[in-house]
Amino acid sequence: MQGVFYRASAKAKALDLGVKGWVTNESDGSVLIEAEGTKDKIIDLIDWCKAGPKHARVDEVRKEEVGVKHYKGFEIRH
């Protein structure tokens, strides 16, 4: 969901939760997040993603487990 500060809001939420990783816009208009943290914190981030920031329209949230990368922080990738 581009144009509603989804990436910046996702980063702020991740940092608030202590989750590490990254967020980026995809060419099809979707947003991709790769995140690491405790199970509870990841569930909280996924729940936030289902609504997103004010004015966001979220049609679908998909999740997939990937290997641990040991991210040091959370960044917005372009």
Residue 57 appears among annotated catalytic residues: no
CB 76 within 8 A of CB 49: no
- What is the chain's length? 78
Sorted by sequence, the CB contacts under 8 Å of residue 29 that are 6+ apart come out as 1, 2
- What residues are labeled active site? 7, 25
